Each structure stands twice: as structure tokens, then as C-alpha cells.
Chain A
């Protein structure tokens, strides 16, 4: 089959996820360099029409089954393993999302293919792929060499514009293998988040707090600062997991994506899952006592002063 690049299409509620177009754009670039083909793999039920927005691919392989209507890790893994088994692509690109995490490693294990996770860059070197992964909470990068295999790519790594091409490529239907129908994992519904008191996606100034604030009591001081700035407090995940703030205040991969004018962070390390949600803020200022914290890679300004010194001083200075 030569140099086929396979891309797994992620969708939810009938809508294709941005990360799919990011992968299609990058896949197109790689395929044009190798002279190979780009194939999008779509799983769903009555989803054929979605192929119309996958024009960046040369071909769409479509697997239709009622158990693929909503993402089901068991059924989708079975379908992907079968497609890859039949086509033996050179490279399979999967988004490193909640859905993709279930697919990439399952494919790797069941087809005995090497897997590189957390990729943020893909390049060619001779006949190999070089995948750059972001590890250790964003503190360390590695370049892995792959002759063939599976790469899971972090959302936001590539621009999605290049992958948004109208036009329906040739659609090839692939019969769902028997094990898509069997199995004991059942999808029972989607749960939308409850509306919060504050919509942080619409707030111009965000004061973002992380584990560095140590205790729930210290939130009051952050609220004061946010109030002086006419903004709101949002947070990294541990603060929400501790139930100090509602889920509607969480920024990042499983939280909300925000794009405020000002994003001021206190005691946030800058793990990739957090960065995914805030990197497009206009002005980012980070306060973190660890000078090696990855947040400083993404901030415009930073200081390693203790937040417990900076916050009172800063609050006192603002009208």
C-alpha cells in the first residue's frame, strides 16, 4: 500500500473536532513530501455526510455501526484495529484527547505497532518519522524515531486551517468487524455541564489560580484581586478536583478554552493540559516560584516571587 497516512476523525454530537483538521493539515503536508496518500477514518452511524468536510484527505474510510454512533472505546478500538489490519498504513495519527487515548494504545497493543504519545511536532528524516513529544508536564521534550507506527498528537499543535478543505473525497465503506457489535461496554448518554455563575469564556480579565495557593481559604485573596481588576477567578484542574471551585471555572483540556485580554496566573505550573485552554490569551503574566515551570514558556511576563507576597502588594496598588 506504500506510504499511507491514516487519520482518525474525532467527532461528538455530529460535529467534527478541531483537532481532526489540525491532523489533516499536518498529514497532508507529510503526504505531499513522501508522495503518499492521506486517508481519514470515520466511525459513526449515519455519518457519511460528514465526509463532505474532509476534503483534505484523498480518501475517507467509513465504518458504520450503531455502536459507533457515539464514541465507545471498546467498539471504536475494534473498528480501528480492523481497518489498520486491513490497510497496513505507514503511519496512523490519533488525537491525544480523551477519545484518542483509548484508541492509540489499543491499536498499538493489538497490532503490535510502536506508539509515541503527546506529540507536538512531526517531521521526516529519511524514511522515518520524527515525533517530538512533550513530557514531564511540559518540562522535557523528546524526539522519537519511528519507521512505522502510531502517533497521538496533542490538540492545538498544528493550525487547523490547512486541514479545512471542502469537498467530498472518495468514500470507501468498510464493514464493521464482528467484535464491534459484541462487548459489554455501553454508552448511556452525554452530560452537558451545568451553567455556572460566571462564564469565564466571556470574561476579559482572568485571575487563574493553581495548586500553589495551598488552601481553599486563600481563594478570598484571589477573589479580591479579580474584583479590583473587574475580572473573575478561574483555575487549573486540582483546584476543581478539590471542589474549591466549580467545574465551570476550570481552564484546559477537560475544562474550558478561554481567550481573555489578560490571563494572570498564580501557582500554576503550566502542564500541557492547562496550556491547551489558555495559550491564546492576549497577555499572559505568570507568578510561580519555580523558575523552570513550563508556564514561563507561554507567558509574556513572569516572576518567581512568592504569590503570597505579590498578591497583597498588587491588590494594594490597584484602584
Chain B
């Protein structure tokens, strides 16, 4: 099967997130972006399916400073094709990005689209479900355990409490991947460097078409205050305070 994996670059949550003066968005100039962690799972799952059953894997991302490196990394892991979409606002909303992705998919051969299940900044919803709806193909979110059986796919969708539903589907289909069957593989830097010399990224320019949106009137960090009482002192003292709290609570 031919699989397409849309990849999103998201601010690294390990870094401090600052809010702009208008309090409507992040102060994005100094942020570092990295691949959304669930997209690493989507790529891994796509590669596993290809390795077991043949077919191809193409990765697609919107252009921004870090995009080339992320796309080359996917090629180094085993993807066959990497497409960079230009001409769009790099922080396009999910609706706008979904429409752009659909245009790009129109020129590609695909059976399955695997997105990450969600990203930490998708205020207006999951791109995958939007895309599937625009493409009139079925979608399932929160997916794991994808398997190919003849011309069908089987998969699990996770609910709460460890309960899962199983589904069967004849492609085309779009799936939001929660976890790959194994920890996503790692591409050594030397391999990525080599690929950068050998391979080329495809570039497609797309015109933006805004989808239904809403306005952010305020962005803020949740107030501290009701939060935790921070314990102070040396490591020993802090450990001692925790021990005291535990002993008191255990009674």
C-alpha cells in the first residue's frame, strides 16, 4: 500500500513558551521547532507496514526553517519521498493546512494517510479528521496495531480504561496514529548527512485557502497560586520533607 504521512513541526515544549505583546499567540521568533512526537510514531508505523507488505511511504510537511532537516531524517529512516509545501503561512491553522494537504494529495497516489493523533497546538482540531472529511474518506483517531490483511486494514482505536475497539476498513482511509508497534527508530546523524547529499526534497507550492476559524482574544499562562507549595532546602532537606509528608498521610 502507498502511505502518506503529513508531518507537523511544533514548538519544543521543553523550552520556555513566551506570549506576544498582544497576548494572542506565542512569541514565535526564538522558538525551536521539532517534529510532533506522534508523527514519529506515524512514520514508524508506515515504515513497518511497508517493510512487511511493500508499497511506499511519502512524508509531507509545510515549509519552515527546520522542515528540511525533519524531512531528510524521514528519508534517512526509510521513507521513499519527501514533499515540502511552500507558499503557506508556516503557522497556518489546522483548517487551512488541511485544505493545502488535500491539494497536494490530489497529485499523489495513496491508499492510506497516517497522521499523528494530535499536536499540542491544534486549537482548531485535528488536521487528519479535517482532511479525511474534505477528501470524503473515512478516518479513525487514536489508532494503534494497524495490520494489513489482503486488501483490507485492521486496526485498534483506544478508549479510556485500556479498552479498545477494533475496526476493519478497505482503503482509502486516514488514521491518526497514537503509538507505533515499536519505539520509533532513530536515524544516525551521519546517515541523515549522507541523505542530504544524495536525495532531494520535492517542493510543491500551494495557495492558502482559509477554513472556518475563530479569533483568539487572549492567550495566557495559567495562573500560579493555587499550584503546588514548592519545597525548599538541600536535596536531603527536601527528601526529608517529602518523607514527613508521606508518613503523616499514611498515618
Contacts and interface: CB of A to CB of B under 8 A. Distances in A.
Nearest to A256: B161
Contacts of A296: 224, 227-228, 230
B221 interface: yes
A136 B245 contact: no
A310 B141 contact: no
B206 interface: no
Could you tell me the dominant secondary structure of chain A's interface residues?
A: mixed
Interface string A137-160: 111111111100100100000000
Interface in A191-205: 191-193, 204-205
B215 interface: yes
B70 to A, nearest CB: 19
Interface stretch (A32-40, A47-55, A85-93, A94-102): A94-102
B138 A73 contact: yes
Interface string A219-239: 000000000011000000000
B216 interface: yes
B219 A141 contact: yes
B190 interface: no
Nearest to A276: B160
A301 B245 CA distance: 9
Interface string B172-183: 010010110001
Interface stretch (A23-31, A60-68, A170-178, A179-187): A179-187
A244 B229 CA distance: 31
A105 B126 contact: yes
B17 A303 contact: no
Q: Which of A12, A98, A229 has the most CB of B within 10 A?
A: A98
B32 interface: no
Contact of B123 (A74, A117, A130): A117
B249 A118 contact: no
Interface stretch (B59-67, B74-82, B197-205, B234-242): B234-242
Interface in B36-56: 41
Contacts of B250: 204-205, 229-230, 261-262
Interface in A236-285: 241-243, 247-248, 250, 253-257, 261-262, 264, 269, 282-285
Contacts of A313: 235-236, 239
A241 B133 contact: no
B209 to A, nearest CB: 12
B242 A191 contact: no
B189 interface: no
Contact of B159 (A12, A104, A137, A318): A12
B242 A310 contact: yes
Contacts, number: 268
Interface residues of B, number: 84
Interface stretch (B1-9, B83-91, B105-113, B162-170): B162-170
Contacts of A152: 125
B95 to A, nearest CB: 7
B212 to A, nearest CB: 4
Nearest to B158: A254
A186 B163 contact: no
B212 A139 contact: no
A255 B161 contact: yes
Contacts of B41: 241
B162 A98 contact: no
A98 B161 contact: no
Interface centre among B161, B214, B227, B249 (most CB of A within 10 A): B214
Contact of B160 (A149, A186, A253): A253
Given A142-B123, A188-B168, A116 B214 contact: yes
Contacts of B140: 73, 102, 185
Interface string A60-84: 0000000000111110010000000
A58 interface: no
24 contacts: A71-B165, A102-B140, A104-B129, A108-B125, A108-B130, A115-B124, A115-B125, A116-B124, A137-B120, A142-B218, A185-B173, A188-B167, A189-B165, A193-B161, A242-B183, A250-B162, A255-B160, A269-B13, A299-B228, A301-B230, A301-B231, A302-B230, A310-B238, A317-B239
User: Closest 9 CB pairs between A and B?
Assistant: A193-B162, A109-B133, A302-B228, A105-B129, A313-B239, A299-B228, A105-B125, A74-B138, A185-B138
Interface of B: 11, 13-14, 16-17, 19, 26, 41, 94-95, 98, 117-118, 120-126, 128-130, 132-134, 138-142, 154, 156-170, 173, 176, 178-179, 183, 211-222, 224, 226-231, 235-236, 238-243, 245-247, 249-250
Interface of A: 12, 70-74, 77, 97-99, 101-102, 104-106, 108-110, 112-118, 130-131, 133, 135-146, 149, 152, 183-193, 204-205, 229-230, 241-243, 247-248, 250, 253-257, 261-262, 264, 269, 282-286, 290, 292, 294, 296-305, 309-310, 313-314, 316-318
